[in-house]
Copies of this chain bind each other. A is one copy, B any other.
Amino acid sequence: MTRRSPAPEAVKAWGRLMRVSRLLVEKTEYALKAAGLPPLAWYDVLHELAEAGEGGLRPFELIDRVLLAQYNVSRLLARLEADGLLEKLPVSDDGRGQTVRITPSGREMRRRIWVVYGASIAALMGDKLSAKELETLAALLGRLRDPLVGG
């Protein structure tokens, strides 16, 4: 990390990015709460587990995907398990680990969250920019990802 000072355009874009992302998260979390649903992080985990299918995922695989710290994943999984949304299975070839698999309730919860979450995305992004603009935005944001991060 060099010690140069940033271009004014960079500062402006940074400020907008920080402010807008927080605003959108806040509004979405609020909508979920108002609907009596759990927070976004739960959706992220359920989404990844649903994608992973019956084979499930190891917690350490989840860590990369959901961008949470190890201890946060550990505790989040414990909460989801307590709610019956996923199950932890021992993994045969590694006694340290476990495999986490989504349950039918978990899939149902994911679906219920998506009704509100998806609507929030539609209202907060889809209604504000055209498809072309959304693609431009996604492309520009993609260039800000760490080169080490694929996808």
- Interface of A (DSSP majority class): helix
Could you mark each residue 97-128 of chain A with 1 if its beta carbon is under 8 Å from any beta carbon of chain B, else 0?
00000000000000000011011111111101
Contact B125 A144 (CB under 8 A): yes
Assuming the contacts A7-B134, A137-B137, asked whether A67 and B19 have C-beta atoms less than 8 A apart, the reply is yes
Contact size class for A?
35 or more
Contact B144 A20 (CB under 8 A): yes
Contact B144 A10 (CB under 8 A): no
Contact A126 B10 (CB under 8 A): yes
Question: Which residues of the partner chain B approach A23 to less than 8 Å between Cβ atoms?
Answer: 67, 144-146, 149
Q: Which of B123, B124, B125, B144 contacts A24 (CB 8 A)?
A: B144
Chain copies in the assembled complex: 2
Tell me the smallest distance from the CB of A42 to a CB of chain B, in Å.
Answer: 14
Contact B9 A119 (CB under 8 A): no
Tell me the smallest distance from the CB of A112 to a CB of chain B, in Å.
Answer: 12
> Is there a chain B Cβ closer than 8 Å to A82's Cβ?
no
Binding site for B on A (CB under 8 A): 1-7, 9-14, 16-27, 31, 67, 115-116, 118-126, 128-129, 131, 133-138, 140-146, 149
